[in-house]
């Protein structure tokens, strides 16, 4: 009877350890964001499988480019305020509500301006005969207004994360992805040219009201009550320097991602862009897993700077355990994963997907280092890393795209740049490790509980 009792006790101990592990905000919120990423990836896969069967490859390529172009416009308009949300909301307390509202207002105003500018200059960005945004005035109006609302959609998840309620994010995005799948089927016959883009944008627009009701009516009052007094009000100069430097880096990131389909469509055409898009979508979840882990790291480290070293080590270990094996599996199974889209997608995109998956391994080092620099307000390191990572990927990607005349050239570029920057960051990490015990601690001393 001792055997079964021992097994029962072991199971109970394991369960207790798991519960304790999940109670830690560092891991609970990180796993919520990873679950969101995983569920979104699976549902996104289903979405694009349906898309490639309902729409011709040319229409898929045009709509994928329209989505990437709009994402770039929205990302620039949002001023990358997700970074300040994650860095500062944990300590803002009663000032958090005004901070979020002002951020929304600035972003929406800029999105309206940039959306209109993009429509008016569309012929500059795309080759003759490539009608990515079409010539319909009605579509252009919807495109501009949608850009403004989707800025809020883009920022609300980081607001939830900064308020330490990332567990809401996967629920919100599950509903978004299901609605997207339903709409892409419904709109296939109604809007054969723009149905993919509409199905991507409309659910995000509709989610803004209920999610922000929860943020402003429920979460912010609780956050104000739970933040130890006096709540920290961020000096304008400090906030401006951090926001502008963070935004400069994020613009480089968004440009490197969103302009790649533009390079492909102008060089190789819409069909190759469709092949590129599916391989990219399968790989990007690996990179986003690292960002999700590091978002939680930033929130918890900002709340308790005294525990920065411990929080950093715990985050690094979990990233290695989760992302490392996943990257290897995707790299090996790339041909099989892409067959769900069709033989042509698997044949043309397998090498690209394998290279991108391997690039996610050095990306773990780069993402965690960048987040550490964000917490420590090392602005120069933040900017230098992003300049090297994203501008390097874009420039080298374009060079190798021309040299190889295949989408695999972009994969070679991204893997090479990620590895090079990771090696370059090792001395910085060694330096930080040496300074941890010497530097005075500044920042909130509240426990991460």
Q: What is the DSSP letter of 59?
A: H
Q: Is residue 302 part of a domain?
A: yes
Peptide linkage before 230 cis (omega within 30 of 0): yes
pLDDT of residue 68: 80
Residue 31 pLDDT > 80 = yes
Question: E strand or H helix at 345, and its extent?
Answer: helix 343-375
- pLDDT, tens digit (0-9, with 9 covering 90-100), for 337-388: 888 888 888 888 899 999 999 999 999 999 999 999 998 888 899 989 989 9
Q: Is residue 447 part of a domain?
A: no
Q: Per the domain annotation, does 441 fall within a domain? A: no
Q: Give residue 237's domain range.
A: 26-435
Domain annotation covers residue 17: no
In the predicted structure, residue 447 carries a pLDDT above the cut 50? no
Residue 247 has pLDDT above 50, yes or no: yes
Say which residues have a Cβ less than 8 Å from residue 421's Cβ, sequence separation at least 6.
362, 366, 385, 388, 389, 392
The answer to whether 194 touches 139, Cβ cutoff 8 Å, is yes
Task: For the chain, give the longest Cα–Cα distance.
Answer: 79
Q: What is the pLDDT of residues 417-441, one digit of tens each?
A: 999 999 999 999 888 888 776 654 4
Residue 71 lies in a domain: yes
Helix pair 392-404, 236-267: axis angle to 10 deg: 0
Residue 5: per-residue pLDDT:
52
Q: By percentage, how much of the chain surpasses pLDDT 90?
A: 35
37 domain-assigned: yes
Does 282 map to a domain? yes
Of all residues in the chain, the percent with pLDDT exceeding 70 is: 89
User: What is the model's pLDDT at position 231?
Assistant: 59
Q: Return phi, psi of residue 134, to 5°.
A: 65, -170
Q: Name the average pLDDT for the chain.
A: 85
Query: How confident is the model over 40-91, as pLDDT tens digits?
Result: 878 988 998 899 899 988 888 888 888 888 887 887 888 888 888 988 888 8
Count of the separate structural domains present in the chain: 1
Instruction: Read off the pLDDT of each residue in 296-321 and give the average, rounded to a whole number.
Output: 87
Residue 303 in any domain: the answer is yes
Determine the pLDDT at residue 445.
Answer: 41
Q: Does residue 126 carry a pLDDT above 80?
A: no
């Amino acid at each position: 009877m001792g055997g079964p009792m021992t097994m029962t006790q072991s199971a109970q101990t394991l369960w207790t350890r798991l519960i304790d592990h999940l109670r830690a905000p560092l891991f609970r919120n990180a796993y919520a964001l990873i679950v969101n990423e995983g569920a979104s990836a699976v549902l996104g896969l289903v979405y694009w499988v349906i898309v490639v069967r309902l729409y011709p490859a040319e229409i898929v390529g045009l709509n994928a480019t329209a989505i990437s172009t709009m994402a770039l416009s929205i990302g620039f308009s949002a001023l990358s305020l997700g970074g300040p949300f994650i860095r500062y909301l944990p300590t803002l307390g009663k000032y958090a509500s005004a901070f979020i509202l002002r951020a929304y207002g600035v972003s929406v105003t800029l999105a309206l301006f940039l959306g209109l500018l993009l429509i008016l200059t569309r012929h500059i960005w795309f080759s003759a005969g490539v009608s990515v945004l079409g010539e319909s005035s009605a579509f252009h109006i919807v495109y501009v207004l949608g850009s403004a609302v989707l800025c809020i959609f883009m920022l609300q998840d980081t607001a939830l994360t900064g308020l330490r309620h990332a567990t809401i994010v996967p629920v919100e995005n599950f509903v978004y992805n299901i609605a997207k799948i339903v709409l892409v089927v419904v709109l296939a016959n109604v809007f054969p040219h723009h149905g993919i883009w509409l199905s991507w944008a409309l659910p995000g627009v509709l989610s803004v009201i209920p999610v922000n009701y929860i943020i402003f009516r429920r979460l912010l009052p609780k956050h104000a009550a739970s933040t130890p007094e006096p709540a920290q009000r961020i000096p304008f100069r400090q906030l401006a320097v951090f926001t502008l430097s963070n935004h400069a880096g994020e613009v480089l990131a968004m440009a490197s991602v969103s302009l790649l389909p533009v390079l492909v469509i102008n060089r190789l055409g819409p069909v190759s862009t469709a092949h590129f898009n599916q391989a990219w979508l399968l790989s990007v979840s690996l990179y986003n897993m690292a960002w999700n882990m590091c978002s939680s790291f930033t929130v918890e480290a900002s709340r308790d700077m005294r525990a920065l070293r411990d929080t950093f080590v715990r985050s690094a270990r979990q990233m290695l355990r989760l992302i490392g094996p996943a990257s290897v599996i995707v790299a090996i199974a790339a041909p099989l994963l892409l067959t769900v889209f069709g033989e042509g997608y698997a044949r043309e995109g397998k090498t690209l997907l394998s290279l991108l998956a391997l690039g996610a391994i050095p990306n773990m080092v780069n993402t965690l280092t960048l987040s550490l620099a964000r917490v420590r307000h090392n602005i120069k390191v933040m900017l230098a890393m992003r300049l090297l990572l994203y501008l390097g990927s874009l420039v080298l990607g374009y060079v190798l795209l021309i040299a190889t005349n295949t989408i695999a050239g972009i994969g070679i570029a991204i893997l090479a740049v990620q590895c090079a920057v990771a090696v370059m960051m090792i001395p910085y990490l060694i330096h930080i490790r040496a300074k941890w015990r010497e530097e005075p601690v500044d920042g909130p001393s509240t426990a991460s509980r």
